[in-house]
């Protein structure tokens, strides 16, 4: 049985294996890397700015710096958050005011294991398996100039696209199947890196200590999800209250907030009592 790769413990166990790491980076980014050390919970010292960044998985070889992040729950701030992570891995290389050179190309891979939510800024919901961003400028004719070559890549297996190339497909299927079909995953075992993950992230290979850590991780996520849900409910109630005060009827409030009529009536009575 395949361990769920949306659990940070199992994900890190699999993707810090050197063979898996190199195969994953080769398929997703298309480059060969030979990292001396693959670290977890990497933090730069001294810090860059006031935010205490820690990278889930961090590795670098003499010319390249690779950051891999797993984010199980997709909140609205994630795109901004990982842009910060990506840029810090770039700017951290420039520690002297006399030298602005960035010697190592930075690649950040963000693995999302839950569907995207509506973007607060654009009010859109994205349904892409793969999103790639780089910092290379374009001229007025739209021609890209490969100056920086840093890349920020988002992977989300919840939006299967028939046109996704096999180099992405193998890993996206692996992550998705580990979550939704762990007992009989439909994955490409001809991919040596994927096969290696099934050997490492197998429930038979999980130690009691790892299992305990995995359960703690699940509990933490439940608390975070609950807190977010409570914040969301408070926001919806605040919107409904404002609408009632502005004279909106129950049907209109329900259409906007998806609250039950009984909930809206209860809120209306509480507002009237306060007057």
The string of pLDDT tens digits covering residues 159-201 is 999 999 999 999 999 999 999 999 999 999 999 999 999 999 8
pLDDT classification of 209: cutoffs 50, 70, 90: confident
The string of pLDDT tens digits covering residues 234-270 is 778 888 888 888 888 888 888 878 888 988 888 888 8
pLDDT classification of 133: cutoffs 50, 70, 90: very high
Query: How much is the pLDDT for 51?
Result: 65
The string of pLDDT tens digits covering residues 63-89 is 888 887 665 555 555 788 888 888 888
Q: Which of the pair, 51 or 1, is modelled with greater confidence? A: 1
Pairing of strands 64-71, 105-112: parallel
Least confident range of 59-68, 147-156, 219-228, 248-257: 219-228
161 backbone dihedrals φ, ψ, rounded to 5°:
-125, 125
Entry pTM: 0.74
Query: How much is the pLDDT for 96?
Result: 58
Q: Are 106 and 150 in contact (CB under 8 A)?
A: yes
Query: How much is the pLDDT for 118?
Result: 61
The percent of residues above 70 in pLDDT, for the chain, comes to 82
Domain edges within the chain: 8-206, 226-274
The string of pLDDT tens digits covering residues 13-23 is 999 999 999 99
């Amino acid at each position: 049985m395949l361990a769920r790769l949306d659990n940070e413990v199992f994900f890190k166990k699999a993707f810090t294996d050197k063979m898996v790491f190199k195969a994953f980076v080769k398929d997703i980014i298309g480059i060969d890397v030979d990292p001396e050390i693959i670290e977890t919970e990497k933090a730069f010292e001294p810090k860059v700015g006031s935010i205490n960044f820690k990278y889930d998985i961090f590795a670098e070889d003499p010319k390249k710096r690779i950051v891999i992040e797993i984010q199980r729950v997709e909140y609205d701030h994630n795109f901004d958050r990982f842009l910060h992570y990506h840029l810090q891995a770039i700017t951290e290389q420039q520690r002297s005011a006399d030298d602005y050179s960035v010697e190592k190309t930075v690649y950040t891979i963000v693995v999302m294991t839950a569907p995207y939510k509506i973007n607060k800024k654009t009010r859109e919901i994205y349904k892409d398996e793969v999103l790639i961003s780089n910092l290379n400028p374009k001229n007025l004719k739209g021609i890209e100039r490969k100056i920086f070559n840093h890349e920020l890549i988002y992977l989300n297996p919840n939006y299967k696209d028939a046109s996704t190339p096999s180099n992405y497909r193998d890993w996206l299927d692996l992550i998705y199947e580990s979550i939704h079909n762990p007992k009989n995953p439909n994955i490409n075992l001809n991919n040596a890196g994927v096969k290696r993950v099934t050997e490492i992230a197998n429930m038979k290979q999980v130690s009691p200590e790892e299992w305990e850590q995995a359960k703690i991780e699940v509990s933490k996520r439940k608390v975070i999800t609950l807190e977010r849900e409570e914040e969301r409910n408070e926001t919806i109630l605040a919107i409904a209250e404002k609408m009632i005060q502005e004279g909106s009827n129950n049907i209109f409030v329900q259409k906007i907030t998806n609250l039950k009529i009984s909930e809206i009536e209860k809120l209306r009575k509480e507002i009237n009592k306060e007057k």
